Structure 1
């Protein structure tokens, strides 16, 4: 069975290895005909971002779309938090059908373009509304291109999510966050041996300690302003105590016990675009119901208390 990004669940005797082969097409301002991978034109109103608030990888795209003010340019379809082996479904919509695409399963948009699509049906995905075909599900490039290629459609005061002066270092930070934290929690949760788990656990907490130290004297990962790096880390931190601490056995400490990371996470949560797109009920439903090999009972925990996310963080003092 595939997870939200196509990786497999627990395989006995093996370490977790995420499948990173996605549909590589990109949507760009000046597409080159015959390019490999194919390029599609930036065109307001043409595309629909299909995402799920339950999924950390899709949650990034939802946040970036709102921060950049692209709500009226790229429509948003939201899948429900649980799915079967076939596909994410639109059970949040009336009649269980996406009102724009007219489909019950995201799988239908994939098959419309690739009738024998062999990989997991993942979110986020961008769908070409006129044809009903999936364009891309390459999640790192989706948010990258929303910033760089859709610039003329950003709202006037949109944040600079990729500041030129720190971009090289930011790429290094994001790579470490991805491999060691975003993917690191999955490496713990889906480990198939004790040895694989122990190694994954040590790697995760080495990175968490690095982040705790980094955020001791700077408000955000790259300084005093929010960047793409923060969005990528936030969606993992938002799920840490609710899911990863127990469900994925990442239990050395809770996020609330890490003073700098916890203050940083609350700071982001309380910013426009972050907390309002974080749905803890959907997050817990996804992990605890879908991951039957990790949680065979399907019982969804009631806690933790969500109100703590709105407590003061005092991060403004860092600039």
Structure 2
């Protein structure tokens, strides 16, 4: 759980401020893949959508990296964008490419030992966090982006001309409505579980866990009358929420003390979670062994004995019943 300072690795924890509040670092690579390589909304151009040019570095445990794996599956990009999977344990060396855990692939491109080495290939004097996901350009040997919210939008449309898959999870007519939903869910749910779990004061914890459950209550009400967050059409807002929901009862409820209610206690959210899990290709992106190993083993400041719970047993393949809902 460290960071790079002037190219040197430092094993230290400084995610919380003087008030005990968790503060997430801002990602540093914000280029875009576009169909013709023209510049995107940020960064520089020169990253055209081409088969077998790009590679994803991910953790199966990380909800932010999980977003990109879902979009890779939804958009039929498995054969043209490769993936390397880090070891689920994030200890004194941060993310590693150790292979002694089922599903951890090592570094398929360079056979490097640590994820930080990928960052140092771009900038040997880099300072900052070493995070997943990383979208890597094999031709230019550089990082395109390490911002998951932007990577999924690239995967949503940039390669449509390559694959012929034109499924659109960020439709133009819904973008204005999607943004406030994304913003609330990111702040209070996606990031909210971390703000609760990593809080080092009672006040900081309660300031995080209150809005978390207020938003889950709001989502439950919203999903009671519509199939997806935006109505009858599934969008990126749903997939961004899903990666937190699928981890909630397995990890966040216990490990991060988000135990006011479980996801299985919300009838609409629980059915919705099962539907998204059962979506073609999505279940294969969910690896509970990596998820539980990462959180319960890596965070010894929360779980010093590193005991990994055996449960809960959840039937994610049970009928979801969501198809009965009409458009809002």
Determine if the TM-score, normalized by the shorter chain, exceeds 0.5.
yes
Q: Evaluate the alpha carbon distance shift between residue 186 and residue 303 of structure 1 in structure 2; reply closer, same or farther with a 3 A threshold.
A: same
Which SS does the other structure have where 2:57 is aligned? strand
TM-score (norm 1): 0.91
Task: Note if contact 1:12-1:192 (Cα within 8 Å) is conserved in structure 2.
Answer: no
Q: Which runs of 5 or more residues in structure 1 are unaligned? A: none
| Structure 2 residue 30 is matched with structure 1 residue 24 | yes
Which SS does the other structure have where 2:33 is aligned? strand
What residue is the counterpart of 1:140 in the other structure? Answer: 149
Counterparts of 1:134-173 in structure 2, within 5 Å, are: 134-156=143-165, 158-173=166-181
Which SS does the other structure have where 1:14 is aligned? coil
Distance in 1, Cα, partners of 2:325 & 2:196: 33
Which portions of structure 1, spanning 4 or more consecutive aligned residues, are displaced by more than 4 angstroms?
6-12, 93-96
Instruction: Report how many aligned residue pairs link the two structures.
Output: 315
Distance in 1, Cα, partners of 2:79 & 2:13: 32
Distance in 2, Cα, partners of 1:228 & 1:170: 8
Task: Note if contact 1:24-1:138 (Cα within 8 Å) is conserved in structure 2.
Answer: yes
Distance in 1, Cα, partners of 2:154 & 2:13: 24
Q: Evaluate the alpha carbon distance shift between residue 238 and residue 276 of structure 1 in structure 2; reply closer, same or farther with a 3 A threshold.
A: same
Distance in 2, Cα, partners of 1:7 & 1:317: 47
Residues 273-305 of structure 1, C-alpha deviation per residue, up to 9 Å, x if partnerless?
Answer: 222211111100010111111111111111011
What residue is the counterpart of 1:258 in the other structure? Answer: 266
Alpha-carbon offset, residue 186 of structure 1: 0.5
| Structure 2 residue 57 is matched with structure 1 residue 83 | no
Alpha-carbon offset, residue 89 of structure 1: 1.9
Which SS does the other structure have where 1:26 is aligned? coil
Per mean C-alpha deviation after superposition, the further-off stretch among 242-251 and 141-150 is 141-150
Distance in 2, Cα, partners of 1:68 & 1:301: 34
Q: Evaluate the alpha carbon distance shift between residue 155 and residue 104 of structure 1 in structure 2; reply closer, same or farther with a 3 A threshold.
A: farther
Which SS does the other structure have where 1:246 is aligned? helix
| Structure 2 residue 190 is matched with structure 1 residue 182 | yes
What residue is the counterpart of 2:214 in the other structure? Answer: 206
Q: Which runs of 5 or more residues in structure 2 are unaligned? A: 4-11
